[in-house]
C-alpha cells in the first residue's frame, strides 16, 4: 500500500487530484468514506476535472467529466449518464487509518 494523503486533506463532499508513481488519480470523500479512481474518462481517455481538484457536479453527488458531462456514481464509478453510459471509471483499492488514506496500485 502507498500513502496517498492525510485524512484532513480530503473533506466530506470534496475531491482532489494526485499523481502517485506517475499515475494520475483522484479521490472523493462522501459520507466520511474515501473513493479513489484513475483520472481518466472511459469515453475519450481524458482527465475528468473541470479545474484543479474539481471532479464533482454542482450538487457534489456525482463525479462529472469536464469534457462531455458524463456522470459517474461516487461509490463505484459507474457511468449513469453521457456517452459512456454503462462503462465505469477504474477504481483503485484504498483503505484509511489513523495516518491517512492508502492506495494499492
pLDDT digits (tens, 9 = 90+) for 59-87: 999 999 999 899 999 999 999 999 988 99
| Phi, psi angles (nearest 5°) of residue 19 | -125, 120
Architecture of the CATH domain 2-103: 3-layer Sandwich (2.102)
Contact between 72 and 81 (Cβ < 8 Å): no
**Residue boundaries of the structural domains of the chain:** 2-103
pLDDT band at 17 (very low <50, low <70, confident <90, very high): very high
* Average pLDDT of every residue of the chain: 95
The predicted pLDDT at position 22 comes to 95
The predicted pLDDT at position 64 comes to 96
The predicted pLDDT at position 35 comes to 98
- SS3 category, 9: helix
Return the percentage of the chain with pLDDT > 90, whole number. 91
| Phi, psi angles (nearest 5°) of residue 78 | -70, 135
Nearest Cα residue to 16 out of 41, 44, 35, 40: 35
DSSP state, residue 26: E
Collect all residues with Cβ–Cβ distance below 8 Å to 53 and sequence separation of at least 6: 14, 15, 16, 17
pLDDT band at 50 (very low <50, low <70, confident <90, very high): confident
The predicted pLDDT at position 5 comes to 98
Amino acid at each position: 500500500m502507498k500513502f496517498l494523503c492525510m485524512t484532513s486533506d480530503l473533506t466530506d463532499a470534496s475531491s482532489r487530484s494526485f499523481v502517485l508513481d506517475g499515475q494520475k488519480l483522484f479521490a472523493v470523500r462522501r459520507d466520511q468514506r474515501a473513493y479513489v479512481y484513475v483520472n481518466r474518462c472511459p469515453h475519450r481517455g481524458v482527465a475528468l476535472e473541470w479545474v484543479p481538484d474539481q471532479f464533482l457536479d454542482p450538487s457534489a453527488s456525482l463525479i462529472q467529466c469536464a469534457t462531455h458531462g458524463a456522470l459517474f456514481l461516487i461509490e463505484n464509478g459507474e457511468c449513469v449518464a453521457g456517452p459512456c453510459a454503462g462503462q465505469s471509471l477504474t477504481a483503485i483499492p484504498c483503505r484509511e487509518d489513523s495516518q491517512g488514506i492508502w492506495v494499492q496500485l
